[in-house]
Structure formats: C-alpha cells, structure tokens
Amino acid sequence: MKLFFISDIHGSAFYTKKALENFKKENADFIVILGDELYHGARNPLPPEYNTKEVTQLLNEYADKIIAIRGNCDSEVDQMVLEYPMMADYSIILYNGRRLFLTHGHIFDEDNLPKLNPGDVFLYGHYHVPKAEKKGDIYIINPGSITFPKEDSPNTYAVLENNTFTIKDLEGKVYKTLDLS
C-alpha cells in the first residue's frame, strides 16, 4: 500500500491541482490530509487561486481515497461541504505492525506527543516545514505545506511506500527520506 500525505492546503485550487497531479503520478492508494484544507487562516495571505468551492469539488472527487483530520483552520461548516470525515483531532492508521498517528500539530506536536510505542510514527502538519527524522524511538514526519511553505522549504508532500517516507517537492524532486526499517 502506498500513502500520499499533504497538509495545509489553505483553500488554494492552484496547489490542490498540483498535489492531485502528483497523487496520480505517484499511483498511491490513499490521500492523507493532515488538516487546514479550505481556509487560508488569519495569519496567511490569500494563496494562489484561492477558491474554497473549487478545492471542495476537487477533493470530493477523491472522497473514497481520502483519510483526513481537522486542522486549526478547519470548521464544522467545512464538514458540511466535504464528502469525507475530517473533524477528528487525530486518527490512526495501522501500517506494517506500527501505528501512524495522524494529527494537525496544533494540539499534539513534537513537544506534546501522544502515548506511542517504540517504532510508531507521529505525522503532523501545521508548521509548514517538512521533517523526516527519528526522535528517540519514535519517527517524526511532517510533509510540509503544499501551499505556504516556511523556513525556505519548497512546497512539499510525502509518500510512504515499502517502509520508507519520501518527502518531495511539487516537481517530484526528492527533498528528504526516512527509512522505518
């Protein structure tokens, strides 16, 4: 199974289209969205092609392929238009004998980890900075932001295949990798 991770879309139809093109190129099985799907938030500028209705339509076309959680910019109104559940603060995927703990990063983060077992993976967004590292006996992954990257990082997504996380820019160039073996 191949998983495709994105975070912090913030209502950009431009970057949603680019992300979905990469999802197709990657031939992944599921899209995992780590929050902040529709709205740009009070601290962000308007993103390119800011169009929450179009982003909603684009994402709903893949509703059967999306696993999503709520970000700090997501609301109950968003759930009314999105055709997949996205209001949970976290979710868990079982992958090759380990838990992938999915959250946005505004409640749980690297300094406030949930109870995890050695070898589990903590996946979050919110900070808009790609990260792939092992901290103690927990793997920490942030796919970055497809729309508003920070700290001079590129617009990025991540894939998980064969126990390896690969973070790539939207042109498909590898930015970081982390082997879970």
- Other beta carbons within 10 Å of 130: 25
* Mean pLDDT for all residues in the chain: 97
Give the chain's domains with CATH numbers: 3-179 (3.60.21.10)
The structure's pTM equals 0.97
Question: Could you give the CA distance from residue 172 to residue 169 in angstroms, rounded to a whole number?
Answer: 5
Read off the tokens for 176: 């970081």
pLDDT for the residue 144: 98
Tokens 């929050």, residue located: 35
- Other beta carbons within 10 Å of 164: 13
Helix, strand and coil in the chain, % to nearest 5: 20, 30, 50
Summarised one tens digit per residue, pLDDT across range 28-50 is 999 999 999 999 988 888 998 99
Q: What percent of the chain has pLDDT over 70?
A: 100
Residues 6+ apart with CB under 8 A from 115: none
Tokens 């982003």, residue located: 55
